Structure 1
Amino acid sequence: MHSNKGTRSVDFIWALLGRGGAAALQALTLVLLARLSNPQDFGLTMGAQGVLFTAAYFLGFGLGPYVTIEQAKQRYSEVVTEIVHVNQRTSIASGVLCFLGLAAASVIEPALLALLPLSIAMLAMRNSAVLEGIALANRRVRMFGASLFLRRLFQLLLFAVLAFIGVDPLLSYSIAFAASETAINLFLRKIVGRVPRPVSRPHFRQLIRRAAPYWIETVSVQFRGLDVSSAGFIGGTAIGGIYAVPARFSSAILMVPSTFANLCLPRIAAGTPKTFKRVCIASVPVILFVFLLLSLLAYYAETIIQLLLGPAYLSAVLPTQIFCIGFAALTCITIANSLVQGIGLARHVAWTSMLGAFLLVAFVGVGAGLHGATGSSWGYSIAVVIQLILLIGSTAAGVRIYLRSGP
């Protein structure tokens, strides 16, 4: 037992180091993009990327988290093999649709032509999501962490090289993104190995119906990424660019609770109420650590923004401090979603995530119209707190029933 606990601790540390390193590299990539461009172009890129992410995950049908649970229950079952082969086709469809969408939008905003390579990144990301889920369920945690770190390192280095030789910053960013996601997809294929083909022809509708709760939750998470687009659409691209500072750079901190949540999901799904209790206790120091990071970020926001982004982004200081309030609630939601999904309450996670995402995008847009980037941050924080309250209220009874069902 002690050995198992030690192994889990080491796995978490490795995964956290991988994701933490990846988050730091991603932050550096965004710093470089912000430095090389202006708030308008930065806001345009982050807004377009948010739209593409949402579209790609909509076409992912929640197969990533669903395959993690199914693989944890039984390795390479018929359901798992169906998921893998269906995901290959839907990944291609998502890439094609993202390309066509960007090409059409570039008629109105020509700068979007530089972001066309992002459609390749979306294709590779969607395909990699299922492979990562299998790797996690197979306890290949260190490979999972390594894949995240390597993709961000490759993206940063290629972006820097392309920018250095004079390639347009937006084009450099999108090419580097596409190349890194493609490379990591090949890496994951090698790690996971050959997946058996399904015995019978995959029943697409039945598969999507079973994955629906995870689909809704993952789409809702990505729909939140439209917050920058909402702020930019209503308040203007400059306000969208300022709001994008906390909205996008905070993803580095989100790596901590999301890593914990990803590792816990297969364990809870294959475990008992006693496992659930242990994971709940283990989540407390993780949450407190994130709260500490957010407190430091809020306190030193002006110094950090001045140092990393320069005076053009100093108006993002107050929005960043307000944003930290909502981000603290998001940390709790990220871990709680994984906990209750693992015990069969995925539908509750789905509807609260969907409602929370719609509220967030709406409140951010309204806030931008009323009080600029500061209003957007208030809208974000209020929406996330409401989602947390709804999640606790809707799952409390189900959790109590589950805890009484076994030792």
Structure 2
Amino acid sequence: MSSLTRQFSWVSGGRVAAALLQAAVLLLMAERLGPSNFGVLTAAIALTVVPQTLSDLGLTTFILRTRPDRREDGRITYAIHVNAVATSIGAALYSAGVLVFALFVDWSLLALLPLAVWLAGEKSCEVSMAVAVADRDARLNASVLLGRRAAAFVALVPLLLLGTDPIWAFTVSQAVTSLGALLVVRRLLAPRLPKLENIGLGGLLGLTRAYWLHTVATQVRSLDTAITAFVVGPYQAGLYAVASRLTNPLRILPSSLVAVLIPQIVRDQGLIARTTRALLVAMLLAMATIYLALAYVAPTAIPWALGPEYLPSVVPVQIVCVGLIFGVTASILAGVLQAQGRQRLVGISSTVTSVYCVIAIAALASIHGAIGAAVGLVSAFFIQTLMMAIGYAFGGRKSIT
């Protein structure tokens, strides 16, 4: 087995198992809360994207591209320190938002407050573990991710059995386990980090701005559930969330491949080896087969797993499953282009399609509810794939320095 295949196996295996655990948690919440309350919860989770994205600063991709050739580059350590400060600020802003809504709308929304701790822990773990992925230590990356998802599941179930309010049980279990995982990650990675080189926030952003633009543009789409809830209410948002949130495990394998490919293509000076190309093609074909199969079984599987009240979510799920074929293609193309130094193209295409996505979801959801929101999301995937494919085919390759 090649080094690339072995790395991908570890990263994807860990992420798939972790995503399945997360899906199991969301299934429990959907069953306990019903469509409307589940829509409220998923909208709140979607809104954590705002502080998480603002605090990302493009640091994950920066580390993945810098670490393979420059293991002793102190800017990596500085990036991790900046991330710690940025995520703390993001958590504080989210907490302030929850407190305002609780004060003026409903005090029960205080149950969402622990999500502030969760979002900071999740983002900090993601940025820090980029060091392990770049070092080809996929086993550590998989172990940490799977460990924190398993711990969250194990913590949630007893709280539910004890009769704890489901939303409090969910948010507290997520917050405690993400914070614990962050402490473990920092202890494990501390010996690997080089001496800090303080290049200043402006200097760091000069290196990461293009990556950050892509992250911001991509993550804006994660506001889809919140937008749907705002436009047509929590019931339709809950139906749409079944399609957009419970299909998240289906996106794990492609994103895992991208995480492994970026350092590998950088080491190969931007070239795509035959083995890498074969792995990409195999991934696309495999995921397309899985997506189409799930779309086929959705009419039977969804009522069986969630109950008859979720039957109206079947068509949105089928639409999203088919559309994820384009989402996977766009994700892989974005990783390849960034590794080849063409992050500006990725940033522009992501920004254009994300703005379109937000507008399309709001407009179509107002007419067709959850089905319209699903069509808006999928059409954005298609447009982004088309833009990146054209850019990849005709734009040429920027050399890696």
Fold conserved between structures, TM > 0.5: yes
1:256 to 253, 258, 261: 253
Aligned to 2:138: 141
Superposition deviation, residue 119 in structure 1: 0.2
Q: Which amino acid aligns with 2:54?
A: F
Aligned to 1:53: 49
Query: Is 1:243–1:377's contact at 8 Å kept on the other side of the alignment?
Result: yes
Query: Is 1:70–1:79's contact at 8 Å kept on the other side of the alignment?
Result: no
Q: Deviations over 1:182-234 (max 9, x none)?
A: 122122223312434424x3310121121011111112222111011111111
| Higher mean displacement: 324-333 or 334-343 | 324-333
| Higher mean displacement: 189-198 or 324-333 | 189-198
Superposition deviation, residue 78 in structure 1: 2.5
Structure 2: stretches of 5+ with no match in the other structure: none
1:305 to 302, 311, 316: 302
Superposition deviation, residue 10 in structure 1: 2.3
Aligned to 2:216: 219
Aligned to 1:198: 196
Aligned to 1:284: 281
Say if 2:371 is the partner of 1:369. no
TM-score by length of 1: 0.94
Q: Which amino acid aligns with 1:397?
A: F
Structure 2 distance, partners of 1:250, 1:269, is: 31
Q: Deviations over 1:275-311 (max 9, x none)?
A: 4554233111111111111111100001111121111
Structure 2 distance, partners of 1:313, 1:139, is: 42
2:75 to 75, 79, 86: 79
Say if 2:7 is the partner of 1:31. no
Aligned to 2:4: 8
Structure 1 distance, partners of 2:54, 2:320, is: 26
**Are the structure 2 counterparts of residues 401 and 212 from structure 1 closer, same or farther at C-alpha, using a change threshold of 3 Å?**
closer
2:186 to 186, 189, 192: 189
2:15 to 15, 19, 37: 19
Aligned to 2:166: 169
Q: Deviations over 1:158-178 (max 9, x none)?
A: 111111111110111111111
Structure 2 distance, partners of 1:378, 1:157, is: 36
Structure 2 distance, partners of 1:176, 1:55, is: 20
Query: Is 2:4–2:260's contact at 8 Å kept on the other side of the alignment?
Result: no
Aligned to 2:94: 98
Aligned to 2:315: 318
Query: Is 2:353–2:384's contact at 8 Å kept on the other side of the alignment?
Result: yes
Query: Is 1:85–1:197's contact at 8 Å kept on the other side of the alignment?
Result: no
Structure 1 distance, partners of 2:354, 2:108, is: 28
Q: Which amino acid aligns with 1:132?
A: M
Structure 1: stretches of 5+ with no match in the other structure: none
Structure 2 distance, partners of 1:225, 1:343, is: 26
Query: Is 1:86–1:202's contact at 8 Å kept on the other side of the alignment?
Result: no
Structure 2 distance, partners of 1:154, 1:290, is: 28
Indicate the RMSD between aligned Cα atoms, in angstroms. 1.7
Percent identity over paired residues: 27
Query: Is 1:60–1:126's contact at 8 Å kept on the other side of the alignment?
Result: yes
Structure 2 distance, partners of 1:401, 1:312, is: 51
Aligned to 1:379: 376
Superposition deviation, residue 251 in structure 1: 0.5
Superposition deviation, residue 348 in structure 1: 0.9
Query: Is 1:216–1:354's contact at 8 Å kept on the other side of the alignment?
Result: yes
1:349 to 339, 343, 346: 346
Q: Which amino acid aligns with 1:37?
A: L
Query: Is 1:25–1:156's contact at 8 Å kept on the other side of the alignment?
Result: yes
Structure 1 distance, partners of 2:169, 2:218, is: 27
Structure 2 distance, partners of 1:170, 1:188, is: 27
Superposition deviation, residue 62 in structure 1: 1.1
Q: Which amino acid aligns with 1:240?
A: A
